[in-house]
Amino acid sequence: MIQDFLFQAFAASAILGAVIMVTRRNPVSAVIFLVGVFFATSGMFLMLDAHYIAAINVILYGGAIMVLFLFVLMLLNLGHADWRDLRGPVGGLIGGSISIAFLGVLTRLFVGGTDARPVVEIAGSALREAAAEQGVVGVVARPLFTEYTIVLEVTGVLLLVSIVGTILLARRERT
């Protein structure tokens, strides 16, 4: 019960944080709210008994990647709050109405869903059993190296392409 309540609270703060993040003018404060979103998401993972994912999420996203983001923003001195929004009010209107429509879809799913069992119970019980058997890391690692090996390999190639591409576009021109 308390788990379910906490899950909903984390979920609500994640959505709220995300909304605040995309409406900020100042990139630095947007990044700070993004960190908040990551922490709230980790909290959701924790309530679903996905401890390993929660920890990795905090360490990698909340920690390492966001620090890089902040560094880059501050180095490039991009934090000007007085920049005008490029899109006019029409863009905002369209974007806003689509967001509200999706919020409506999600609300309907949670409130009037056909499946009355709370999300926490479904995901949590399956994960708890698997974790008791294989350990918290094993739950993630085993499928990653058995069922989803191909995905892992292709992701490796994807990272290679990203590195090669970044260097190609950013390096000094050869003379």
Interface residue list for other proteins (CB under 8 A): 102, 105, 108-109, 147-148, 150-151, 154-155, 157-158, 160-162, 164-165, 168-169, 173-175
Smallest distance from other proteins to CB 174, Å = 7
Name which of 82 and 173 has its Cβ closer to other proteins: 173
Phi, psi at 117, each rounded to 5°: -70, 135
**Residues near 19 by Cβ (< 8 Å), separated by ≥ 6?**
99
DSSP string, 16-67: HHHHHHHH-SSHHHHHHHHHHHHHHHHHHHHHTT-HHHHHHIIIIIIIIIHH
Name which of 1 and 150 has its Cβ closer to other proteins: 150
Smallest distance from other proteins to CB 155, Å = 6
Smallest distance from other proteins to CB 120, Å = 15
Name which of 78 and 164 has its Cβ closer to other proteins: 164
Smallest distance from other proteins to CB 91, Å = 13
Name which of 135 and 164 has its Cβ closer to other proteins: 164
Task: Give first-to-last CA distance, the chain, whole Å.
Answer: 67
Query: 88 in the Ramachandran plot: left (φ > 0), alpha (ψ -120 to 50) or beta?
Result: beta
Name which of 1 and 170 has its Cβ closer to other proteins: 170
CA distance 99 to 23: 12
